[in-house]
Structure 1
Amino acid sequence: MKDDAFLPLRLHPGDDLRRALEAALAGQGCEAGFVAAGMGSLAQAQLRLAGAPEALRLDGPLEVLTLAGSVAVNGSHLHASLSDSQGRVLGGHLGYGCRVRTTAEVLLVLLPQWHFSREADPATGFDELVPRRRGQPPA
């Protein structure tokens, strides 16, 4: 993989983690990417636990132990595991409103030849990833 396919980021206090990743992707002229690695701290988080209809708001300080997923300009899918000041860990879908406390360090893999969208999948009942090469018509 070419070196310019990687985008190391350092996010700052107050940044919305998910929005900042989507903005960084768009700023590179990309529509698709993946988080290769991510860690840092959050002042608050929005985490949707498995099977839950709504996100759970967590107030920090929180440590980002893991961060992974697809990033797209129109439908990211990110998972995180977070620990609180007692060392308890929760994991789930990372929503908007996760505010960086001190820092977040993320390595994005850029996929400039791809476009990611989310489309309804009757088998799962959810909007699921549909990766397409840029310029390829929808199936």
Structure 2
Amino acid sequence: MKTYLVLIFFLLISLKSMPQVVSSNGKYFAFRLGPHEDIKKSILKFAKDSKIKAGCIVSAVGSLEQLNIRFANQESAQKKKGHFEIVSLTGTFSDTSSHIHLSVSDSTGITTGGHLMEDNLIYTTLEIIIVELTEVEFTKEKDITYGYSELVIKPRSKQK
């Protein structure tokens, strides 16, 4: 009996550590943001206005006049003014939260990246394509491993 209990215990632990996989169809949106617009505020406003429960960034090309990112495991963000090319913008979001990373290069080609914060202001343009995952929803729940609120992916409940 003890052997079965131990096996069940290890099975339950292994199930908890398995990646959460949920498939979904998607609905794509393409739009352009202009000078001085805030990337994060604009994405979250679009998600809220469109009632997006699960979205991700597919592609983004553009430039910034102000950079504001938080590096890994740091309390505060680093803000810089200048001209930066966006070389990567990736992440997940919903109408209530986001987890987005940004990488940029400066005029010498030096590249840096981190967590997208508010006050990343567009210089000339940001051409962005996002996808709404129409059959799932993203929520955040506290993960006891490190104490952070982490992404939870759930099938979207059928609306009547």
Following the alignment from structure 1 to structure 2, what is the Cα–Cα distance between the partners of residues 75 and 28?
14
CA deviations 1:59-93 (Å, max 9, x no partner) are: 12111101100011221000111111221110111
1:101 aligns with 2:128: no
Across the two proteins, how many residue pairs are aligned to each other?
A: 135
1:43 aligns with 2:36: no
Match of 2:87 in 1: 65
1:121 aligns with 2:108: no
Following the alignment from structure 1 to structure 2, what is the Cα–Cα distance between the partners of residues 96 and 117?
20
1:16 deviates by 0.7
Map 1:1-139; keep pairs closer than 5 Å: 5-135=27-157
Structure 1 or 2: larger strand share?
1
The answer on whether the counterparts of 1:74 and 1:116 sit within 8 Å (CA) in structure 2 is no
SS of alignment partner, residue 65 of structure 1: strand
Larger radius of gyration: 2
Following the alignment from structure 2 to structure 1, what is the Cα–Cα distance between the partners of residues 154 and 80?
35
Following the alignment from structure 1 to structure 2, what is the Cα–Cα distance between the partners of residues 129 and 116?
6
RMSD: 1.8
The answer on whether the counterparts of 2:143 and 2:150 sit within 8 Å (CA) in structure 1 is yes
1:52 deviates by 1.3
Following the alignment from structure 1 to structure 2, what is the Cα–Cα distance between the partners of residues 22 and 112?
17
Instruction: Give the ranges of 4+ consecutive aligned residues of structure 1 lying more than 4 Å apart after TM superposition.
Output: none
One-letter identity of the residue aligned with 1:38 = A
Percent identical among aligned pairs is: 31
Following the alignment from structure 2 to structure 1, what is the Cα–Cα distance between the partners of residues 139 and 76?
22
User: Bigger shift: 108-117 or 92-101?
Assistant: 108-117
One-letter identity of the residue aligned with 2:27 = A
TM-score (norm 1): 0.88
Q: Which runs of 5+ in 1 are unaligned?
A: none
TM-score (norm 2): 0.77
